[in-house]
Amino acid sequence: MKVLSLSLSLSLSLSLSLSLSQNPKNTKYINQFQIVFVFFCLPFVLSCLCCPFPPPCRCDTKSPTVDCKHRNLASLPDLTPSNGSWTVFLNGNKLRHISENAFVGIKLQTLVLDNNEIEAMDEQAFNGSEKSLVFLDIAGNNLTTLPEALTNLQNLMSLSLSSNPLPNLDQKVIMKLSTSLIFIDFGSRELQEWPTSMKYLTKLVSLDISDVTLTSLPDDAFDSFSDTLQVLGIHNTYITRLPSSIAKLQNLQNLKFEGNQQLSVEAISKSIPNSLPGLIEVTFHNNGLTTLPDIFLNASHLYIVTVLDEPLKSLNDNLFSTNFSDNFHVVMMNNTNLTHVPACISKVNTIKRLQITHSQISSIDENDFHGMANLSILDLSDNPLFNISDKTFSRNSDLTYLILENTELTRIPRSIQNLHSPQLLNLSGCPIYCSCDNLQWIKSWKSRPKYFQIVGNCSNIKMDLMSYIQNEIPKCLS
């Protein structure tokens, strides 16, 4: 890279010199220009284009980014000084100690050190980057105390600490970071009580709590950042109840519950009795929930609800009101025990994409989706679905993509005739029986769009569905 830089610099110097020499009056400036370029510009160009980390690390040719992840490094290499604000990935190595001046010569903006074996950092570990480092990920290491080195980071905005055996969050360190820190994640089995130092993080925007064995949090746990918090994630905990201060998070936009097997639907509903009006995205993942908590009625900005790996059996008919949010466009559910499309979803006319996959839906009735006038994408793949009423979709004029992969359907559903402008019907993996008796109705479907594609294969003959429709259906006797 240095050779390339030198070649480029000399070429530039030569071209400019020639340009100046074309005018006799400029001849006296040529030597001055070359001296200035060599002593001032050339070192700058070399520094800008120099990768600070030696192999096996690699630098991005288009941005100041270093990839040193998963290189089996037991220590940090010596760095070559380089200009720019650098993003450095050192995750997945075997680093145990970050010594002082470890990154001198470059200015760090983002440093990713997760999943190493780091036990300690010298107090001057981040010398040279005290003002520039804004994102630091040291999750998944062996830290038992917060490093004093963090107190030197004047503009740190994001700090990832989860999966370190930290019994507490040192008050001195957190106080020092409180003027700039807005994102933090932490938690481990060793954390035996809620860190009182969290009260100093009055500007916090995003909080992720994970792997704690606490069964509850203090009711005032979220008080200090109740006006600022926008993202809250609670992951893999033993929590049985939520702090009452969660109801004060009026600006919360993104809420995620994941792997909290002891947290019941009733506990969630009780902690958030009046809903959270700022909610935009809500995710439930592997919490053992058989239904969803009633926390949506006042969520007037809600956009998406995602449910993954929850043994849902049913949903309250009043979980969602008809027009509670003009922005409510997406419902995604995967691996549930739902046996039918919930009525509380079927009545919401703003939903544009509905996915209920890997569940137990076997039949679709004519009133399913009846209130979903704006539905454009429907995915019911990997359900034991064998029947769809011929009158289904009569009120879903905007439905264009219908995905029914790996279901038990043996015929192309006639209800697709009710769609105004369908573009795709995906029946891949379905045992569609191709015969005139089963499919000749398509011959009389006069309004079938020419661009409408049906994907899948006949189960009884070696032919894809579109080929059968185009080549064999016309031969069927009416």
Instruction: Provide DSSP, 325-341.
Output: -TT--EEEEES----S-
- pLDDT, tens digit, for every residue of 87-97? 999 999 999 99
Average pLDDT of the residues in 130-138: 98
Strands (E), 345-455: 353-357, 363-364, 377-379, 387-388, 401-403, 424-426, 453-455
Q: Strand, helix or coil at 439?
A: helix
| 5 membership: H or E segment, kind and range | helix 2-21
Query: What is residue 164's predicted lDDT score, i.e. its pLDDT?
Result: 98
Report pLDDT for 325.
85
Tell me the angle at which helices 27-36 and 2-21 cross, rounded to the nearest 10 degrees: 160
Q: Among 170-174, 293-297, 356-360, where is mean pLDDT lowest? A: 293-297
* 441/397: higher pLDDT: 441
Q: Is the pLDDT of residue 412 over 90?
A: yes
pTM of the full predicted structure? Answer: 0.87
- pLDDT grade, residue 340 (50/70/90)? very high
What pLDDT was estimated at residue 28?
Answer: 39
* Unique residue bearing structure tokens 């100093």: 200
Alpha-carbon distance of 95 to 72, in angstroms, equals: 9
pLDDT surpassing 70 at residue 42:
no
Do residues 248 and 274 touch, judged by C-beta distance below 8 A?
A: no
> Do residues 209 and 187 make contact, with C-beta atoms less than 8 angstroms apart?
yes
- What angle (nearest 5°) sits at the alpha carbon of residue 42, between those of residues 37 and 43? 130
- Whether 30 shows a pLDDT value over 90: the answer reads no
Instruction: Look at residue 23 in the predicted model and tell me its pLDDT.
Output: 47
End-to-end CA gap in the chain: 74
21 has a pLDDT exceeding 60: no
pLDDT at 90: 98
Q: What is the tens place of the pLDDT at every residue in 192-208?
A: 899 999 999 999 999 99
pLDDT tens figures, 150-169: 999 999 999 999 999 999 99
Compute, in degrees rounded to 10, the torsion defined by CA atoms 29, 30, 32, 37: 130
In whole angstroms, what separates CA 461 from the centre of its chain?
A: 42
Q: What is the mean pLDDT of residues 231-259?
A: 97
Q: Per DSSP, what are the bridge partners of residue 112?
A: 89, 137
- CA dist 321 and 90 (Å) reads 48
In this predicted structure, the answer to whether residue 24 has a pLDDT above a threshold of 90 is no
In the predicted model, what is the mean pLDDT of residues 379-389?
97
Q: Within a 10 A sphere around the Cβ of 147, how many other Cβ atoms?
A: 19
Whether residue 289 has pLDDT greater than 80: yes
Strand, coil or helix: 373 = coil
H or E, element range at 110: strand 107-112
Pairing of strands 387-388, 377-379: unpaired
Q: What integer best gives the mean pLDDT of the chain? A: 90
| H or E, element range at 255 | strand 254-258
Mean pLDDT value across residues 316-320: 91
Confidence of residue 38 (pLDDT cuts 50, 70, 90): very low
Please say if the pLDDT value at position 245 is more than 90: yes
Mean pLDDT of 315-340: 92
* Burial label, 73 (beta-carbon count in 10 A; 0-12, 13-18, 19+): middle
Question: Which residue in 104, 142, 105, 101 sits closest to 122, CA to CA?
Answer: 101
Average pLDDT score over residue span 355-366: 97
Mean pLDDT of 373-390: 97
What is the per-residue pLDDT for 477?
82
% of the chain at pLDDT higher than 70: 89
Q: How far, in Å, CA of 236 to CA of 212, rounded?
A: 7
Residue 32's pLDDT is 37
Per the CB < 8 A criterion, the answer to whether 439 and 469 are in contact is: yes
The one-letter code for the residue type at 150 is L
Comparing 34-48, 209-223, 299-313, 403-417, the range with the smallest average pLDDT is 34-48
Cis peptide bond N-terminal to 56, omega within 30: yes
Q: Which residue has the tokens 């891949």?
A: 428
Residue 37, pLDDT > 70, answer: no
Phi, psi of 258 (to 5 degrees): -140, 125
Radius of gyration, alpha carbons of the chain: 31
Average pLDDT for residues 213-220, to the nearest whole number?
Answer: 95
Higher pLDDT, 35 or 279: 279
Q: Give dist(CA 109, CA 85) in Å, integer.
A: 5
Pairing of strands 254-258, 231-235: parallel
